[in-house]
Every structure is written in structure tokens, then in C-alpha cells.
Chains A and B, each alone.
Chain A
Amino acid sequence: MRIPCPLCGSRDIREFDYMGHAQALDRPEPEAGAQAWDDYVHNRDNPAGPTRDLWFHGLGCGAWLVVDRDTVSHEITAAALARDVKGGAA
């Protein structure tokens, strides 16, 4: 797999760390309740098909990316800087 980093261009997957589903960007309010926090920390849609996850370009520019990816075909269709993305859910 290669990830098209908006800052560095298309780079080998070896340069990136997978940081989990982009739902991590939708952090609940501290008082949102146990269910909201359980959903946030533990529960996942875990889709077989299109997904959106976070990758850290540690061996490149150091940016966090939101990547549109297919979990069945491994095709990567888009990558954006996490700081420009509001909320993680597609």
C-alpha cells in the first residue's frame, strides 16, 4: 500500500503508523456518559469495505492523516490532513 500524503506525495506504507479508526476525532464531551465513552474508546463499526482511518506519517512529515481506504481491496482513495477534517465519521 502507498498513502498519498498531502504534504509529501505518494509514500510507502512503511513510513506510516496506523492509529485506528478516524472516529477517534469525534471525542465525546467529558460528561457525555459511560455509553458514549465506551462507544468511543472500545466499540467499532469495523466495516468490511470502505473505511476511514488515521495514519501518522512518522517517518515523513509527522502529520496525522485521515485516509479513505477499502478494508477488503486495500485500495486507498484519499488522504487529508487530520487538522483540516472536522469529525472522523464519513
Chain B
Amino acid sequence: MRFSGLRVLTEGLTGNKGWRPHWRDPAPKSDYDIIIIGGGGHGLSTAFYLAKEHGLTNIAVLEKGYIGGGNVGRNTTIVRANYNLPGNSEFYSHSLKLWEGLEQEVNYNAMMSQRGVLNLCHSDGQRDAFARRANSMINQGDDAVLLDREGVRKLVPYLDFDNIRFPIYGGLLHPRGGTARHDAVAWGYARGADSRGVDIIQNCEVTGIDVENGRVTGVQTSRGAIRARKVGIVVAGRSSQVAAMAGMRLPIESHILQAFVTEGLKPVIDHVVTFGMGHFYISQSDKGGLVFGGDLDFYASYAQRGNLPMAEHVMEAAMTLMPMIGKARVLRSWGGIMDMSPDGSPVIDRTHIDGLYLNCGWCYGGFKAVPGSGNCFAHLIAQDRPHPAAARYRLDRFRTGIGLMDEEGTGAQHNLH
């Protein structure tokens, strides 16, 4: 089934009776070449690129719940390539380029909207740091524009520019950054993988990983044992549990991150605006809801909901930055489980078990990574060597201390990111 404007029009005129499910609902086979554990954004894109770029299609994606039920359907949908550190810089640049071709590649409307990401600064020191970051973004081949106060005012006149504590000095604009419809990305990759022969198996929880003589041989699941020659773990907040099935203890602590959305309003916020000093960021969804969030609750958690102190902090930061938001009414709030790594950067690597691969540690920033992570993880699984864009995402960097990627410069230890 191909989507097109004509198709939508025809279906609209004929009662929308021609639409079919976007992917099959197969029963698990007893044997696959490759099993991907976790049907989030990263697992689905991994399966898609394995099929599309490496011609491997005897693959199952095993998802314990339903597609889009994890973080891929819970995030605030910001897509950007404004990183600073070698390792992150080339990876997110690679991922953003894949985002730009994604909708054509999977023939699915992911509502990719390059509306620009605007980071605000409130001191000379912060502006200098933005200038450095902008230069590394440009060196990487991405786009960055340093704005002065008037430049920011032209774009976002509704902010409180003269706030007594955080007056706005300027901003760093990343025009190619923006948002995408999060669950459509999961559905698009699921459909793209399925149509190439990948089995997407929902309600199938992996409960064990089988290893013989140092080599992975398959998995145990709630729907029986399944054999495989290669297995990839891509389960975000649940990485520690699944890796423990293979005897691994990961440098990961799971934390809760909350998000909020207001009732639908007329278009008012045209960009993604971030107020780092207040740990606050906001954009407006195509439905009109103001989508915003802040920092982690900052304690280990597997509850997909947070506590009130962080909700209060986020609302206060919102009022500080844009007092007009006080008129909007919050509709919903929720939380997702973040796989926090000690240095705040992810892992895409082999493990000590042959045929077992690990993809984790995306912290609160793994949505923008969905295409890049799947693309690079597929490369690693298919070819047994890292993709150049993800070559620095090594698991052993914590043990050796070599190649730590502490983007924020706060230290490579838990609870600092």
C-alpha cells in the first residue's frame, strides 16, 4: 500500500474503506537470522535499515507491549544536530540528514517540521559558549546562527526579555532543527520494515537470552523460545534488566523524565524554544497543544509518571520565560523511563558475547537519534564493525576512561546529567 495525496482524496470520497493494517501480525517463527529486542524507535529503525541497506530480512522485532508504547511515543519530539563533542557531533549530524529524507524513504508522513530550534542565553559567558557551539556545528557541516537580543525578539516577541533574573541576551538558532510526529516515526519504520519481510511481533516479552560457548543462540520469550544467530538489545529504560539476562551489569541508571501538554490553542509558538537556565523547553504541536518539559525528576525510577516538585519547577520556569503561558490550561502530563549513562552519551557496541549487540544510554535525547541509531546499529550487526558515525559509542569507555563523551562537561558519573 503506497500513500499519496490522490489516495487520501479517493479514500476520503469513498468512506475510507480501503485502508488496511500497516503491518502484519505474524506469529513468531522458531528461528531467525537476527532478533531485535525492543520495538521502540531505535529497534524498528534498526530492523528497517538491516532490511533496506544490508538485504537482511529474516528478522524479528520482539516488543513486550505495543509499537509506540515506550519512549518513542512519550517524548517531546525535538530533532536537532547541535552537539559539540567529536563523537556526538558527527552522529547527530548523520541522524538529522536521515531525518530529512525519512518521509520519502519510508513513504510515511512523519510530520517532520524543521521549524528551527532556538536556545536562549542570559549572560556573556553563555553567549561565548553558544559561539563556540555554533562554530563546531558549522564545522560539522550543520547550520547555526548566532542572534543578538533584537534578532531573538523578531522571532519570539512574546518572551519576557527584561526578566530581572534571566534577561535575554541573545540566542543560538539551529534552523534545520525542529519536531516530528513521534509515533508516526515508529509506525513509518514498522511499516517499512514489515513490507520488506521483517516480522514485528508485539506482546512478546523477552525473558531470557540463550548463550552457548560464548555465542548467542536465541532468546526465551513469553511466546516461547526463538533461536537466532544474532541478537540486538535496544530496550531504552529497560536496558539493565535485559542485559542482566546475558549476565551483564551496565553503566546505566533508569530515571524518570516528565512532559506536559496544554489544551489546543491557535498557533502561537512557531519554533522550539529552549530556556536552559530554567531547564525548560517548549514547542507547539500541529494539533495546537503547547508541548513542554524540563529536567529529570532526579532519582532512579521505573514509574512512568513523576512527582509534583518537578511539575511545579517546570511551570515556574514557563512563567518566568513567557508569562502569557499562564492563560493556557495543562491538559495532561506523563513520564518516560530514561536509560541514563554516566557521561550522558549512548552506547552502540558489541558485547563480550559473540552475536550479542547492545544499544542503550540515550538518556533524555534519543528521539532525534532514532534514524541514526538504527542506521548505525544495523551496520554494526550486519558487518560486525562500527559505522563511522557511531564509532565512538564504545561500552568500555567507562572502564578504561578513554573516549568519555561528557557533552555537558559536568563529569562522567551517574546523576550529573
Give the B-binding residues of A (Cβ under 8 A): 1, 12-14, 17-21, 34-35, 38-39, 41-49, 51, 53, 71-74
* B240, B244, B413 pick with most chain A CB within 10 angstroms: B240
A17 to B297 alpha-carbon distance, docked (Å): 11
A41 to B413 alpha-carbon distance, docked (Å): 7
A35 to B396 alpha-carbon distance, docked (Å): 11
Is there contact, CB below 8 Å, between B249 and A71? no
Q: Please judge, given known A-B contacts A18-B415, A20-B415, A74-B307, whether A42 and B299 are in contact too, CB under 8 Å.
A: no
Contact of B399 among A13, A42, A49, A72 (CB under 8 A): A42
* B250, chain A: closest CB distance, angstroms: 7
Is there contact, CB below 8 Å, between B303 and A46? no
A44 to B239 alpha-carbon distance, docked (Å): 11
B23-31, B251-259, B265-273 - the one binding chain A: B251-259
Find chain A residues with CB under 8 A from B307 CB. Answer: 1, 13, 74
Within 233-266 of B, Cβ neighbours of A (below 8 Å) are at 238, 240-241, 244, 249-254
A44 to B244 alpha-carbon distance, docked (Å): 11
Other than the given A20-B253, A41-B342, A44-B250, 18 more pairs (CB < 8 A) read: A18-B415, A19-B415, A20-B414, A20-B415, A21-B300, A35-B399, A39-B249, A41-B398, A42-B251, A42-B413, A44-B240, A44-B251, A45-B240, A45-B249, A46-B240, A48-B238, A48-B241, A74-B303
Q: Please judge, given known A-B contacts A46-B240, A74-B307, whether A18 and B299 are in contact too, CB under 8 Å.
A: yes
* B345, chain A: closest CB distance, angstroms: 13
Say whether B108 faces chain A, with CB atoms less than 8 Å apart.
no
* A3, chain B: closest CB distance, angstroms: 11
Within 272-309 of B, Cβ neighbours of A (below 8 Å) are at 298-303, 307, 309
Find chain A residues with CB under 8 A from B399 CB. Answer: 34-35, 38, 42
Is there contact, CB below 8 Å, between A43 and B415? no
A17 to B13 alpha-carbon distance, docked (Å): 59
